[in-house]
Amino acid sequence: MKYQIATLFLLILVIQQSYCQTFEVESPDKKIKLSVNVAQNISWSVTLNKNLVIKNAIAGMDFSTGADFGNNSSVKKHTIKEFSTIIHPVVPHKDSEINDEYNELSIEFKSNYELKFRAYNDGVAYRFVDQVNKNRNIISEHFSLTFPEGTRSYFPQEASMYSHNERVYLDKALTEIKSDEFCSLPVMFSTSNAKVLYTETALHDYPGMFIKGTENSTVEAIFPKYVIEAIDTKNKYADRSQEITKEANYIAQTSGNRAYPWRVFIISDDDKTFVESNLTFQLSKPSVLKNTSWIKPGKVAWDWYNDNNVYGVDFKSGLNTATYKYFIDFAAANGIEYVILDEGWTKSTTEILDFNPNMDIPKLIQYGKEKGVELILWVLWKPLDANLDEILETYKTWGVKGIKVDYMQRNDQYMVNSYERIAKKCAELKLLVDFHGSFKPSGLRRTYPNVINYEGVKGGENNKMNTYVTPEHNVTIPFIRMAAGPMDYTPGAMVNKHKKDFSVSFKHPMSQGTRAHQVAMYVVYEAPLQMLCDSPSRYYEEQETLDFITKIPTVWDETTVLKGVVGDYIAIARRKDNKWYIGAMTDWNSRDLELDLSFLKEGNFKMEIYKDGVNAEKFAEDYTIQNLEVNKNSKIEINMAPGGGWSAIISEIQKS
C-alpha cells in the first residue's frame, strides 16, 4: 500500500513537472530578469542584479463565456524578440526623443489568447491579447503581487472608488495594510534591494485598477464594477456628484479580439530612475492624429485659486468682464499663452451653453485673440457628458482653444470611455483638454496628444482647504505620481509660509515652504499646460519672480535627474533647445547639495539662479537672484532652507 501511494505521488509529481513550463526574458542591459511559469495558473517573478524584487505575481482573467485566461492553459508557442526604435512625442513632457528598446516574450495559448511580457532597462510590463472575436463580459481580472518579506509601500490610500484620486502617500509596511484598505495608482513598493513602481497604461475601454492589502506581503487588484445606473446626489453637489445605484456582477463588457491594458512596473535601486522613466508613454498606443501642429503647450493664468482677487484697479473684481480683461492683459504683457475661465463663467454649473450675464464670453475671446492670448473654459463633466457634441461645437464657434473638464471621480469602464470620447471630439475640433478631477494619466495623452494635462494629484489648490500639501509631499510626487505622466499641480503661490505660520484660507490661500520652493516646481513638475495660480496683481508686485517663471518652458528636449530621494529632495536638469534649466526642492529639512554640471557641452555659460534668501528660514518669501559663469567642469554648491528650493537658467555665452 505504501509503495502504491509513493508511486502515485511520483506520478502526480512527474505530470505536474511535465505540465509546468518556464520562460525567461531579460532587459537589454541584462540587469532585469523576468521568469514566467505556466501551470495551473500563470505566475512570474523578477530579479534586479540577481536580487529578487517581485517574489511572485499571478496574472489571469475570467469571462462570462469561453475560456478564461491563465486557468490550466496550454501553450501553443512562444517567441522572444528584440526591439529598438526612436519615439518622438508630439508633446514632449520629458524628452523629445525616447529610445524605445526592449526584449519581448510572447506566449500564445491554445485557447486563443496571447500574453506579452516586455523587459526594459528600467522595468517590465505585461498585457493580455484576446483573439476571441465574441461579445462577452469580463467577470474579473486576477492580479496579485507578492514581495519579499519586509517590503513597504508609499500607499495612496483611498476611502472609496468614487474619488478624484488626490491622495497623500502613506509609508506603510505591506503587513500593515488591511484587507479592506486599498489605493489608487500609481503605487510604489520598497524592498530591501530596490523599489518597484506599479501603474497601468494603454487603458482603453476597460476600468481602472486599484490595489488592496491582504495583511501580508501580497497585494491584489480590485476594480470598480460596470455601472448600470448612476443618479444625481440629493445634496448641494448634485451638479457634479453621482450616486451609483446599480452595478453589474462584472467589471467590463467586451467584444473580444483586442488588447488589454499594459501592467507596468518601473524597477530600480536608484530613485532617480522613477523620474527619468518614459515607460508609461512608451507602452501607450501611438497617436491617431495626423495633424498636430495646432497643439500648443504653454502657461496659463488661472483664476480659481486666487478667487479673482485682483486689486489696485478701478473696477469691482470678481466674475465679470473687466476682471478677465485684466487677466488677459496680464497674460499678454508677460508672454503667457492662455487664460482659464474656471467655475463661474457659465449661467450655472449645469447650464453650460450660456454664460454668466456679467461676462461677455465672445467679447473676451475676441479680446484675447487681439492680444495673442487664447482662452480655455472650465466645465463640469456631468453636463458635458450629457450633451457632448453640441457643447463642444458651440465652444468652438466661440473661438476657445480648449476645455478643462472637472469632477469625473470614477474609474469604471463607462468613465474611461468618456475620457476617450471627449479627447476624440476635441481633437476633431482642434481643442486642447485638461482633465481635472481625474484619475492618473493612463496612456491617452499619447493616443490623443491634445490631452495635454491631468490632475489626479493632491496639488496646490489644497492649500485653500487643508494642510496636506507639505514640502515632503511635494518631493514625493515627482517619484510616484509623475511617473504616470504630467500633473496639473497648479504651482506659483506667492504667499509662502513655514509650518508654524501656515493657515488654511479659501479666499486668501498660502503655500507651505519657501518662495524658491514654488518657483522650482516650474522645472521639477511636468505639465505641458502649466498654471500660474496666484493673482495677477500679486505677480505685478513681484515682477522679478514672474520674469524668472515665464522664462521656463513647459515642454522639454532632455531630462536628467542630478540627485533625488523619494520624500526627501530632488534636483533635476532639463534642456529645451540650447538652454538648460535646473530645479531643486527639499522637504522640511534644510539641505546642502553639490550639483555636477558635466551635462553641459563645451563652452562658457551664464547661470541665472533663483534661490532661498539668507532669511528664508524665518521668512519663507525671502529669495535671492544671483548670476554666475559656469562650464561643464563646474560643481555648484546649493543651499536650501527648510521647505526650500533652488532654480537656475543656464544660457551659453556667445563668443564676440
Q: Catalytic residue positions?
A: 406, 461
Give the H/E segment covering residue 6: helix 2-19
Q: How buried is residue 139: exposed, middle or buried, by Cβ count under 10 Å (0-12/13-18/19+)?
A: middle
Q: Which three cell numbers stand for residue 277?
A: 522613466
Nearest to 75 by CA among 26, 104, 111: 111
Q: Is the CB of residue 277 less than 8 Å from the CB of residue 123?
A: yes
Q: Which three cell numbers stand for residue 217?
A: 506581503
Taking the C-alpha atoms of residue 636 and residue 639, their distance in angstroms, rounded to an integer, is 10
Taking the C-alpha atoms of residue 637 and residue 628, their distance in angstroms, rounded to an integer, is 12
Cell 524592498, residue located: 191
Q: Collect all residues with Cβ–Cβ distance below 8 Å to 372 and sequence separation of at least 6.
A: 332
Report cis status (omega within 30 of 0) of the bond before 186. Answer: yes
Nearest to 549 by CA among 340, 297, 275, 299: 299
The three state secondary structure string of 412-462 is CHHHHHHHHHHHHHHHHCCCEEEECCCCCCCCHHHHCCCEEEECCCCCHHH
* Strand bridging mode 635-640 / 591-596: antiparallel
The three state secondary structure string of 81-128 is EEEEEEECCCCCCCCCCEEEEEEEEEEEECCCEEEEEEEECCEEEEEE
Q: Which three cell numbers stand for residue 493?
A: 503661490
Nearest to 185 by CA among 456, 501, 466: 456
Phi and psi at residue 385, to the nearest 5° = -65, -30
**3-class DSSP state for residue 192?**
coil
109 CB neighbour count, 10 Å cutoff: 21
Q: Is the CB of residue 217 less than 8 Å from the CB of residue 174?
A: yes
